[in-house]
Every structure is written in C-alpha cells, then in structure tokens.
Structure 1
C-alpha cells in the first residue's frame, strides 16, 4: 500500500515538473496557473490510460517501439489535457517540443525515482 502511494506521488510529481519545465522552456506552451493542478491530474490519468492502451497494442514489439509508444502516449495525454484543463499551445512547433520535453523529463525523473526512491520501500523493516 505504501509503495503504491509512493509511486502515485512520484508519478504526479514528475508530471508536475515536466509540465512546469515545458511551460518555462517552450514559448508556445502555456500552463495557466488556475488550471495547473487540474492539468497535472488530467495529464497523469490520461498518461496512465493512454500508455496502457499503447503498450497493449504494441506488446509484442515493445522493445522496438518503446520510444515511439512513449512519445505517442505523451502526445495523446497532452492533447486530452488541453481539452479538459488550462493547457494551451501556440502552433504545431509547441506541440512537438512540448511532447518531447514532457516525455524526456518524465522518463528521466521516473528512472531516477525508480533507481533511488522506490527501492527504499522494497526493503524489509529492520527489527
């Protein structure tokens, strides 16, 4: 239970950091302050669902298309987020750059968290 809550917190934190960094780095990508929390939640839910869907469609060739599937799921999650919350784009360039930045940031932070944070909750308690 604790591990699940920690993974959820990590996933929401990486989504928040990725969206914030993308809004700071990409002039055409906007996360409006009033919709930031909603954008994080919508993005996280959409990302989980779309990632599951893409992986189930490409499960046999997963190693081959893992990067493309990740980019596709991030793009679709950003699209869904823009429909339901305070995220907007100014042009196709912002769409592409935001997809790449959010995908890279969530992948790197997810890897770092899996390497350094999550294993601490896998160890048995000392007695």
Structure 2
C-alpha cells in the first residue's frame, strides 16, 4: 500500500514538474500563481487524465492505426492539456504565441514527465529497493 501511495505521489510530482518546466520555458504557457489551489487542481486533473487517456488511446491506436503507437504519450498529453486549460479555475492558460505554444507544450510536458517518472522512483524508492535486494540476496544465500 505504501508503495502504491509513493507511486501516486511520483506520478503527481512528475506532472507538476512537467507543467512547471513548460511554464518556465514557454512564454505562452502560464500557471496562475495567485491561486495555488488552481495549480494543484491542474496537477491532479492532468495526472488523472494522463493515467486514463494513455491506455485508452493506445487501445484505439492499436486497433485502428498501429503506426501512431509511438506518439501516444505526446497525444494524450495534448488532450489532457486541452481539457485542463478548458476547466475554469484550473490555473493554467495557453496564449500567444498560440500555435508554437500548443505544439511545444505537449512535447515539453511529456518529456519532463517521462524523465521524472523514470528518475523519481530511483530517488524515492531506493531504500525500499535496496531492502528487497538484500532480502533476495539473503534468501538465495540460505
């Protein structure tokens, strides 16, 4: 159960990092810092949408357009961003330069989220993984 909660935290943290990096790099990508609950709402909605949309889009693509399977992460990120931007009070807006921001934002958010999802478990679950490895080594030596 603790591992599940840590993984949920990692998923939320990776979504937050992706959105923060996009906010820092793209002039048209704005997080409304005056209402920090809006940003928390944006993170939760974005992470939830990502977890639901990715498998669903993968299933649809596998059936109808297998060539698109490689871009599913970026596509689901784009859809999640569109939905979060449309929700009032979510604390996220995408403006000018409109087209450039909408093209680059999903790529940046997806890339940072993917890297964070890869590296955060190594940092946060290192102790737990070391304990498991020691148990296996002890059981194998017995």
TM-score category of the 2 structures, normalised to the smaller one: 0.7 to 0.9
**1:50-105 CA-partner distances (Å, limit 9, x unpaired):** 112112223479x9644310110000010111111121111121111111100100
1:27 CA drift (Å): 0.2
Deviates more, 1:68-77 or 1:87-96: 87-96
Q: Secondary structure of the equivalent of 1:113?
A: helix
Tell me the residue number matched to 2:41.
Answer: 38
> Which residue of structure 2 lines up, in the alignment, with residue 101 of structure 1?
108
Provide the residue aligned with 1:2 in structure 2. Answer: 2
Give the alignment's TM-score, normalised by structure 1: 0.85
Which stretch shifts more, 116-125 or 7-16? 116-125
Task: Name which one, 1 or 2, has greater alpha-carbon Rg.
Answer: 2
Equivalenced residue count is 127
Aligned twin of 2:92:
87
Per the TM alignment, residue 42 of structure 1 is displaced from its structure 2 partner at its CA by: 0.9
Q: CA RMSD in A?
A: 2.6
Which blocks of at least 5 consecutive residues in structure 2 are unaligned?
A: 136-142
Q: TM-score, normalised by structure 2?
A: 0.77
1:20-99 map, 5 Å: 20-33=20-33, 34=35, 35-59=38-62, 65-84=68-87, 85-90=90-95, 91-99=98-106
Residue 7 of structure 1 deviates from its aligned partner by 0.6
Distance 2:68 2:128 in 1: 31
